Amino acid sequence: MVVTLKDVAQAANLSVASVSRILTNRGRYSETTAKRVREIAREMGYFKNQSAADLASKKSRAVGVVVPLIHTNFADEIIKGLYEATVASGYELLITYLDDNEAHQTQVFNTLLTRQVGAVFLLSLDIPAWMMAQLTTQSIPIISLTTILNEHISAVTSNEFIVMDTLVDHLVSKGHTNIALIGDTKLTTNISSVRRRNFIESMKQHQLTTENAFFYGNDHSYETGYQSVTEGYDINALPFTAAIATADLVGVGIVNAMNDANKSIPNSLSVVTIDGLQLTEMSRPQLTTIQQNFAEIGRIAMNLFIENSIDQQQQIIYVPTKLIERDSVLDIK
Amino acid sequence: MVVTLKDVAQAANLSVASVSRILTNRGRYSETTAKRVREIAREMGYFKNQSAADLASKKSRAVGVVVPLIHTNFADEIIKGLYEATVASGYELLITYLDDNEAHQTQVFNTLLTRQVGAVFLLSLDIPAWMMAQLTTQSIPIISLTTILNEHISAVTSNEFIVMDTLVDHLVSKGHTNIALIGDTKLTTNISSVRRRNFIESMKQHQLTTENAFFYGNDHSYETGYQSVTEGYDINALPFTAAIATADLVGVGIVNAMNDANKSIPNSLSVVTIDGLQLTEMSRPQLTTIQQNFAEIGRIAMNLFIENSIDQQQQIIYVPTKLIERDSVLDIK
DNA sequence: TTGAAAGCGATACCAA
DNA sequence: TTGGTATCGCTTTCAA
């Protein structure tokens, strides 16, 4: 049988109330008895039943993390960040995965709500409107990571415009004028259309027109990168001299496709990527990239919640990014 | 205020007992009232309080997953597998990360126990003895994934010997006799020493001696792979013609180190890896690998638990692996 | 500093 | 098919 508070209380000749207070370090008690009780509890192998505790105190120590099931190599990093901040505070991470199956979505969503999570962290995820509505009516704070969803939801993210502008600026400074955005460039989601807009805007600010801008792809996959130069354009006569990959994986796809066609990078094409995970160092040539600090994004988001600063109004926190110059950009000036 | 069962019961003019039975599809009730109740519950935005439910029913719908915080690129895949099997059954995954900090370990462990998890899944992880002891005294089933811990703990894994033997056999069939095992080859953990032993055993079965076997490295990292041929051995006079990398990342490290030194793979060195994730396709040349079916391992493990077959005695389930021949092995016969 | 007792929200047994 | 009610293990006033 499982050891309960009552058992411990009996063994210690105390009331459950006192034992509870001691074991949760709440309220008043003498340090002498406290010591004794803690010892007894340990010996008996007592473990609090968190469900009972949550129920009685009408609160939960769990926060939900919703991760898209499609390939996102940075989810790991973010979760680590969240986790770090969480360990210190005693909160629990309830990590759930979301795919396209609506039945699954409902269920995921249900576990979150039935566990009375204190907050929901969305990882680069645009959840269906009905979910959003539910969350809000239950007044569960939502924090979006790596992307700004709308004007109500708080977010911790890199500054998307700066990310794009830094890259464009870097390429322009090396003499490039015809630039492609490759990866997730579709107009149907919030996230990708923002990037697309930022790209155009940044081009403009560099005195370049939409004639200088090229787009390819609907997702952040390796295949999209690969196909961009093999199927999307004539690899022997690319209309652009540089490409911005919306994710590292896309960049590697481009590099491999070029290599496989005996075209050298950066001589035949310059490539830069967004994200800057380990992959960019493992590529040959190593990729110039703008690195996002994912772990930091996770840490900050969690602390934002813990410090309860995330109450009513929206907060947007930008986490700095860093341009890392490596060997995938040719100076053609 | 949060909507409770009682509220729904009142609104429906029924007892909480009936409503509970209906909403959990347990016991008898008429489909007519059931329909009405479900509708009312939905309208009121009712969500069961899982903590209360767990408490009352004296069981938990949560299972714990313990993931090592060090870089393991397959954790993702396994979690997806676990998740898939879990969604259908209504269980929840409580995913926790384990690092070397003992205080953290205790805490992780605490959340697991305080949540009364029904089982604990260990991802390629050798947990401290005291944890193991606790888990067993609380009679929480433990299932180890991708590795066999001892003769008591159930496991779902690839057959490690077959993995190693397939690789050795493949290399030998291509005329290689001097072979290196690179990556995690240390003798201090169960997992790595088993691999090492298997390697030696397999060599023997192929009429090769320990003189033909080489070892390098203490972890599964890219750096270890890279250093093996740059620092571990003289890259211009490697004593082996083929290398088995204990993880994909290690293999890529070797490939890059060779490339950077203007040595071609497989001409100067043949490389095969264990795991077979996407990375092996992205490498140039593409890597010959023995592919583990991680998602399947997760799925099977979870089902093993759900079907309750994992009661008293140990079970070892082997999930088939697949040799994928690509371009990183030279035939030197 | 300690104890008694009233919940928390659901489940499940036993009656009706 | 439905309802009453004890119970799960803990927290939290309020008194002692």
Q: Which of B3, B50, B117, B273 to mutate to test the interface with A (most CBs of A within 10 A)?
A: B50
- Per-residue pLDDT, averaged over B97-125, amounts to 88
Task: Check whether B55 has a pLDDT greater than 60.
Answer: yes
Q: For A107, which of B87, B222, B284 is closest by C-beta distance?
A: B87
**Cβ of residue B51 closer than 8 Å to a chain A Cβ:** yes
Closest nucleotide (C1' vs CA) to A58 is: C8
The mean per-residue pLDDT over the stretch B105-116 comes to: 87
Predicted pLDDT of residue B36 = 92
Rounded to a whole number of angstroms, the distance between the first and last alpha carbons of chain B is 77
Across all residues in chain A, what is the average pLDDT? 92
Identify the pLDDT of residue A14: 92
Which residues of chain B from 277 to 296 reach within 8 Å of chain A, CB to CB? 278, 282, 284
Chain B: nearest CA to A114, how far in angstroms? 5
Backbone region of residue A308 per phi and psi (left: phi > 0; alpha: psi in -120 to 50; beta: other values):
left
In this prediction, residue B275 carries a pLDDT of: 97
Residue A107 near chain B (CB below 8 Å): yes
- Of the listed ranges B70-74, B157-161, B181-185, the least confidently predicted one is B70-74
Look at A110 and B256 and tell me if their CB atoms are within 8 Å.
Answer: no
Task: Name the token pair of B96.
Answer: 């926790």
Does residue B28 register a pLDDT over 80?
yes
- Nearest CB neighbour to B97, from listed A83, A256, A260: A83
- Indicate if the pLDDT at residue A234 is higher than 80: yes
Instruction: State residue B239's pLDDT score.
Output: 98
Q: Does residue B126 belong to the interface with chain A, where contact is any CB pair within 8 Å?
A: no
- Segment A136-162 shows an average pLDDT of 91
Alpha-carbon gap, residue A200 to A218, rounded angstroms: 17
Express as a percent the part of chain A with pLDDT over 90.
Answer: 69
Interface touch B51/A278, C-beta < 8 Å: no
Does residue A310 carry a pLDDT above 70?
A: no
Whether chain A has a CB inside 8 Å of the CB on B259: the answer is yes
Mean pLDDT of A278-288: 96
Question: What pLDDT is recorded for position A309?
Answer: 56
What is the tens place of the pLDDT at every residue in A33-73?
999 999 999 999 899 999 999 999 988 888 999 998 876 78
B59-63, B103-107, B232-236: segment of lowest average pLDDT: B103-107
Residue owning tokens 């033909």: B212
pLDDT of residue B134: 83
Lowest mean pLDDT among A232-241, A274-283, B84-93, B201-210: B84-93
Asked if pLDDT for residue B211 goes beyond 90, the answer is yes
Is residue B101 very low, low, confident or very high in pLDDT (cuts 50, 70, 90)?
A: confident
Residue B307 has a pLDDT of 82
CB-based contact A94 B96, cutoff 8 Å: no
Q: Which of A115, A135, A259 to mutate to test the interface with B (most CBs of B within 10 A)?
A: A115
What confidence score (pLDDT) does residue A1 get? 67
- Percent of chain B scoring above 70 in pLDDT: 98
Q: Which residue is nearest to nucleotide D1 (CA to C1')?
A: B29
Task: Report pLDDT for B165.
Answer: 98
- Segment A230-243 mean pLDDT: 97
Q: How far is A87 from chain B (nearest CA, A)?
A: 7
Region for B16 from its dihedrals, namely left if φ exceeds 0, alpha if ψ lies in -120 to 50, beta otherwise? alpha
Rounded to an integer, the average pLDDT of B194-210 is: 96
Give the span between the Cα atoms of A80 and A82, in whole angstroms. 5
**What stretches of chain A adopt beta strand conformation (E)?**
62-68, 92-98, 120-123, 142-145, 154-157, 179-182, 213-216, 242-245, 270-275, 288-291, 316-318, 322-324
pLDDT at B313 over 90: no
- Can you tell me which residue has its alpha carbon closest to the C1' of nucleotide C6? A56
Query: Of the ranges A48-57, A94-103, A306-315, B324-333, which one carries the lowest mean pLDDT score?
Result: A306-315
- B256 contact A CB<8A: yes
* Each residue's pLDDT tens digit, B231-260: 999 999 999 999 999 999 999 999 999 999
- Lowest mean pLDDT: which of A300-314, B4-18, B118-132, B215-229? A300-314
Provide mean pLDDT across the span B23-41: 89
pLDDT tops 90 at residue A128: no
Alpha-carbon torsion angle A198, A291, B228, B177, nearest 10: -30
Cβ neighbours, 10 Å, residue A211: 10
- Nearest Cα of chain B lies from the Cα of A197 at a distance, in angstroms, of 30
More confident residue, B218 or A109: B218
Label residue A279 by pLDDT band (50, 70, 90). very high
Taking 80 as the threshold, does the pLDDT of residue B310 lie above it?
no
Contact A271, A265 (CB under 8 A): yes
Looking at the DSSP bridge assignments, the partners of residue A289 are A273, A324
Asked if A133 reaches chain B (Cβ–Cβ under 8 Å), the answer is no
Task: Show the tokens assigned to A192.
Answer: 């990708």
Does A60 reach chain B within 8 Å, measured CB to CB?
A: yes
Residue B137 has pLDDT above 90, yes or no: no
**Across chain B, what does the average pLDDT equal?**
92
Amino acid A314: pLDDT = 87
3-class state of residue B262 by DSSP: coil
Q: Is residue B309 over pLDDT 60? A: no
d(CA B4, CA A107): 19
Name the token pair of A168. Answer: 């464009």
Kindly state the average pLDDT of the residues A192-200: 94
Q: Is the pLDDT of residue B27 over 70?
A: yes
Q: Distance (Å) from CA A109 to C1' C8? A: 23
Instruction: Decide if A284 and B256 are in contact by the 8 Å CB cutoff.
Output: yes
Chain B residue with the nearest C-alpha to that of A2:
B138
On chain A, the residues whose CB falls within 8 A of the CB of B55 are 49, 51-52, 55
For residue B264, how many other CB atoms are within 10 A of its CB? 11
- Which tops the pLDDT comparison, B96 or B256? B256
The amino acid at residue B60 is S
Can you tell me which residue has its alpha carbon closest to the C1' of nucleotide C3? A15
The amino acid sitting at A209 is T
| Distance separating alpha carbons of residues A254 and A273, to the nearest angstrom | 10
Residue B271 pLDDT more than 90? yes
**Distance, CA of A159 to CA of A151 (rounded, Å):** 15
A92, B111: Cβ pair inside 8 Å?
A: yes
- Nearest to B208, CA basis, from B160, B241, B252: B241
Which of B50, B75, B134 is the closest to A115 by Cβ?
B50
Nearest residue in chain B measured CA to CA from A252:
B282
